[in-house]
Amino acid sequence: MNRESALTCKNCGSDNVIKKGKRINKYKEVSVFLCKRCNKKFSFQNFNNKTYDIVTIAETLSCYNCGHTIDFVAEKTNIPRSTISNWQSEYSELFGMTKYFKEIQKFRKKVAVIQEVKINYPGKVVLKKNLFKIKNFVPEKETEILEYLDIEERGQFLDELFSNCDVKAKEFKVSFPFELIAKSSNGTACQFAKIASEYKELEIHEAVQKIMLENDTKTIATSVPVFMKISSSGIPWLRNIKSNNSYIIGNIDILQYVDNKFNILCFSEDEPTENSFGNLLLCACCLSDATGIPLRRMELICFDQNFYYQIKASQAYKFV
């Protein structure tokens, strides 16, 4: 959806608005709109009254949260050290990784905080892991997921599998009562999505993944490839699916670990559909099949800039 086409006047609520130039200050450029009904001007921003735009703030904090010192970040961005320090305090709840800066900087001396693993696949699957969070926030007892995320040794197998498989989780539909889905507004993921919508250099989906992986305390990986051999699956309804190589593949947008559970998330610019939760459920089944982690320990979550939709994977499974 074009966000400008969905604008309504902040004063009277009319959608009869037009673009009326730009307002430029020292650090950012803001579009100005005019309501033709009440003749009031206003700007369209998720984050108002900031000398710096929110993308600059987010990227600065991301750089810090990836293990760089505040002096390095200040020199790199040409932003005063005191300003960065103020942002750390102001955004500490949302950009939760700032509280671990000493531990992250120590960790970064030995290994990179963010690791990328590319899979040769037309859909550009690039698994990204926050190694600091995996090491420090995921208990050692979670051996199944720790071993699964360490996929480098299976690179050739995944390259061939994802290149040749014709059955994808995102095409799977599931029907169950939507009243079972818990809906909340303006959660942490939604706030990150609002920030991501301000990025110009990245698609919003990629920006959401980047911000959450670098700054959210729960997010441990993005674009996690998952797969399952249909013929050996214990899921009855999967055996009716025909695949050219007997596999089904999927891609978890965002994987979180919180309170001894795994959240499987996908960002959507629109309200969730049968495909949205079908994809999430099948990805959860694939992950469960590969790791042995039961569905009762997984939550399926679809979110946009305003709302957060959630259901237990085990509950969704009952209606398939």
Could you tell me if 60 and 138 lie in one domain?
no
Could you tell me if 242 and 134 lie in one domain?
yes
Tokens read off for 283: 């990805």
* Pairing state between β 114-118 and 126-130: antiparallel
* Pairing state between β 126-130 and 182-185: unpaired
Domain-located, residue 123: yes
Could you tell me if 39 and 162 lie in one domain?
no
Could you tell me if 92 and 190 lie in one domain?
no
| Alpha carbon distance 162, 249 (integer Å) | 7
Tokens read off for 207: 């920006």
Give me the tens of pLDDT residue by residue for the chain, a chain 320 residues long. Answer: 334 434 677 678 787 888 777 766 555 566 778 888 888 877 655 565 467 889 999 999 999 999 999 999 999 999 999 999 999 999 999 999 999 999 999 999 999 999 998 887 665 668 999 999 999 999 999 999 999 999 876 778 888 888 888 888 887 777 777 777 888 887 899 999 999 988 988 999 999 999 999 999 999 999 999 998 887 777 777 777 788 888 888 999 999 999 999 999 999 987 776 677 888 999 999 999 999 999 999 999 999 988 999 999 999 888 77
Could you tell me if 210 and 304 lie in one domain?
yes
Could you tell me if 70 and 4 lie in one domain?
no
Domain-located, residue 99: yes
Tell me the pLDDT tens digit for each residue of 267-307.
Answer: 998 777 667 788 899 999 999 999 999 999 999 999 998 89
Closest by Cα among 240, 258, 250 to 290: 250
Domain-located, residue 49: no
Type of residue at 107: F
What pLDDT sits at residue 46? 56
Could you tell me if 124 and 188 lie in one domain?
yes
What pLDDT sits at residue 206? 95
Residues 217 and 254 sit within 8 Å (Cβ to Cβ) = no
Indicate the Cα dihedral angle 289, 166, 264, 110, nearest 10°.
90
Contacts of 161 (CB under 8 A, 6+ apart): 227, 245, 247, 249
Structural domain count, the chain: 3
Could you tell me if 284 and 232 lie in one domain?
yes
Q: How many beta carbons lie within 10 A of that of residue 105, not counting itself?
A: 17
Structural domain boundaries enclosing 80: 54-108
Residues 170 and 294 sit within 8 Å (Cβ to Cβ) = no
What pLDDT sits at residue 89? 92
Could you tell me if 103 and 122 lie in one domain?
no
Q: Which sign does the torsion angle of CA 265, 261, 289, 222 carry?
A: positive
Could you tell me if 65 and 166 lie in one domain?
no
Domain-located, residue 273: yes
Treating both helix axes as pointing N-terminal to C-terminal, what angle do 188-196 and 54-65 enclose, rounded to 10 degrees? 120
